Amino acid sequence: MSRPALYGLLAEFTNPTDLVAAIHKAREAGYRAMDAYTPYPVEEVSEALHVHDRRLPLIVLIGGIVGGCAGYALQYWTSTMAYPINVGGRPFHSWPAFIPITFETTILVAAISAVLGMLALNGLPTPYHPLFNVPRFALATDDRFFLCIEATDIQFDEQETMRFLQRLEPRSVSEVEP
């Protein structure tokens, strides 16, 4: 198959209820490669699209463990090997004094992992995206709700999918140039 001429077809709805109904119908019709765009998070939309991504909490957990170990290791190495100094006869490896910084580095690396992990999994920053070619798509951050069936879907057919989306009675349907 040659390169598809379109990124997909974009249907616009005026409220989240219609969008969720449209997603259910599209899934019943067999479409899978699609995404919805809303001005605020709508739990029902993610559920209807069967969005399940549980990688982020794991990334944050690993970040926290790495941060804690690195913070403790820095203090251990500094205080016992790189620069051992006798302070009031305390042992070089005086672990209770190392807890506050270990806690801080745990939180710091976990938080950085949460932010960078979220951006990376979402593919942000995205300097160019085909959807921004559709002028009406600017309303996706305002008060409109969009459903995009992507051309990569096996069932995607320009005319057929267009007719299917029209039957859902959207406010408008736009072709998305790649």
Contact, 39 vs 144, CB < 8 A?
yes
Among residue numbers 38 through 77, which ones bind another protein (CB under 8 A)? 38-42, 44-46, 49, 51, 53, 56-57, 60, 71, 75
User: Residue 152: phi, psi to the nearest 5?
Assistant: -75, -10
- Contact between 167 and another protein by CB under 8 A: the answer reads no
CB of 1 to another protein, least distance (A): 25
Which residue blocks in 92-157 are alpha helix, DSSP H? 99-121
CB of 159 to another protein, least distance (A): 26
Contact, 15 vs 145, CB < 8 A?
yes
Residue 49 backbone zone (phi > 0: left; psi -120 to 50: alpha; other: beta): alpha
Among residue numbers 107 through 146, which ones bind another protein (CB under 8 A)? 107-108, 110-112, 114-115, 117-119, 121-122, 124-129, 131-132, 137-142
Of the candidate residues 9, 10, 11, 20, the single one contacting another protein (CB under 8 A): 20
Query: CA quadruple 144, 35, 165, 158: dihedral positive or negative?
Result: positive
Determine the Cα–Cα distance for residues 6 and 144; give it in Å rounded to an integer: 22
- Contact between 149 and another protein by CB under 8 A: the answer reads no
Q: Which is nearer to another protein, 30 or 41 (CB)?
A: 41
Between 84 and 103, how does the x/- string for binding to another protein read (CB under 8 A)?
-x-x--x---x--xx-xx-x
Contact, 159 vs 173, CB < 8 A?
no
CB of 29 to another protein, least distance (A): 17
- Contact between 10 and another protein by CB under 8 A: the answer reads no
